[in-house]
């Protein structure tokens, strides 16, 4: 690889977020005697999802919080899932509830997400959290974790999106759409692309910031990247491959995220951080 692009080290930045979070958790425990707790809910046994939820619980414990594992069989109905999530919602010892995406296809995932009380939606997946992001309401709801983690990474590398043209490829409710809203809130001019977009390469070529959130290995080609662009690869496909043709893109970009070690660790760190913030909110602690 022959690149001059700065590698955006999500692992290192995530560790700094987790270190600060551990101090906050310590403060919460000293002030209230309560150990913040994240509940992870997994439906089915998809190996990648099993790994992700395990990693999330591990990070949780590494900063001094508790985690609770709820695993439900693949055939769980929407009603049963909603009931399990509601129970966690009503449990005062649980401060954050995460439903691992994707749920099996027969489940109405939106209904399940909406069963998470807004104050415990530390993964930022409810309509409430999305609305808060879209309307720029601070202190209500939580950032959706992957785009929230990307914004933290941009900040850590002193990237101010103001006036930049950001091109987001993908419009899923948990990634592309909230990403576009956050970049808009940060004063970028935003183009959102999806499977029906025409002349995608021409649009990507205009991006000062390009976010790839498609779910197809090396979908965004290196020769679509404008020289000097900042390339964020949110994709994570089999074989540790992202959604961007990394080597070719790195030759054009000024900054680029690696896969793995870029966006993934930032997603988890954001979740853990927001769980501690959620616990503080629920326990009436003022962290400002
Ligand atoms: N690192 C992390 O923490 C993390 C977290 C979540 C997801 N991810 C990864 O991010 C990627 C996207 O995840 P997701 O959940 O957002 O996926 P998704 O729900 O499948 O959404 C994919 C998006 O890509 C668009 N798309 C598909 N084919 C396209 C094409 N030919 N041209 C332009 N756009 C196209 C789709 O458009 P339509 O809307 O028109 O169908 C859709 O909006 C995956 O690789 C996933 O593993 C990583």
Q: Ligand 1 centre from 22 Cα, in Å?
A: 32
pLDDT of residue 4: 84
Q: Is the pLDDT of residue 3 over 80?
A: no
Instruction: Tell me the per-residue pLDDT of 183-239, one tens digit each, with 9 for 90 and over.
Output: 999 999 999 999 999 999 999 999 999 999 999 999 999 999 999 999 999 999 999
CATH number at residue 187: 3.40.50.720
Instruction: Tell me the per-residue pLDDT of 246-263, one tens digit each, with 9 for 90 and over.
Output: 999 999 999 999 999 999
Q: Whose CA is nearest to atom 10 of ligand 1?
A: 235
Instruction: Tell me the per-residue pLDDT of 28-82, one tens digit each, with 9 for 90 and over.
Output: 999 999 999 999 999 999 999 999 999 999 999 999 999 999 999 999 999 999 9
Q: Are residues 168 and 60 in the same domain?
A: no
How many Cα atoms are found within 13 Å in the side-chain-facing hemisphere of 97?
29
Q: Whose CA is nearest to atom 1 of ligand 1?
A: 264
pLDDT of residue 139: 86
Domain boundary among 136, 156, 173: 136
> Rounded to the nearest 5 degrees, what angle is found at the Cα of 244, between the Cα atoms of 223 and 51?
175
Mean pLDDT score across all residues of the chain: 97
pLDDT of residue 288: 61
DSSP 149: H
Range of the domain at 158: 145-264
Q: Are residues 127 and 158 in the same domain?
A: no
Count of domains forming the chain: 2
Strand pairing category for 165-169 and 189-193: parallel
Q: Are residues 161 and 226 in the same domain?
A: yes
Which listed residue (19, 23, 29, 56) is catalytic?
56
């Amino acid at each position: 690889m022959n690149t001059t692009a700065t590698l955006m080290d999500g692992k290192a930045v995530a560790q700094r977020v987790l270190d600060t979070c551990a101090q906050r958790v310590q403060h919460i425990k000293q002030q209230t005697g309560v150990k913040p707790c994240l509940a992870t809910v997994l439906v089915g046994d998809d190996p990648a999802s099993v790994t992700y939820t395990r990693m999330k619980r591990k990070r949780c414990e590494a900063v001094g919080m508790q985690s609770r594992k709820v695993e439900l069989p693949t055939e769980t109905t929407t009603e049963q899932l909603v009931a399990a999530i509601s129970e966690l919602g009503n449990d005062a010892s649980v401060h954050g509830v995460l439903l691992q995406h994707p749920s099996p296809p027969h489940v109405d995932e939106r209904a399940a997400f909406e069963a998470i009380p807004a104050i415990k939606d530390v993964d930022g997946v409810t309509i409430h959290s999305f609305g808060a992001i879209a309307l720029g309401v601070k202190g209500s709801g939580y950032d959706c974790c992957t785009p929230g983690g990307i914004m933290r990474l941009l900040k850590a590398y002193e990237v101010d999106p103001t006036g930049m043209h950001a091109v987001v490829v993908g419009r899923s409710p948990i990634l592309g759409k909230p990403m576009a809203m956050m970049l808009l809130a940060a004063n970028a001019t935003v183009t959102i692309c999806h499977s029906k977009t025409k002349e995608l390469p021409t649009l990507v070529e205009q991006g000062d910031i390009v976010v790839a959130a498609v779910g197809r290995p090396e979908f965004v080609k290196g020769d679509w990247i404008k020289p000097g662009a900042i390339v964020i690869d949110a994709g994570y496909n089999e074989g540790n491959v992202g959604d961007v043709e990394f080597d070719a893109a790195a030759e054009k970009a000024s900054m680029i995220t690696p896969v793995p070690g870029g966006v993934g660790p930032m997603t988890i760190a954001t979740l853990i951080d927001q769980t501690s913030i959620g616990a503080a909110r629920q326990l009436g602690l003022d962290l400002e």
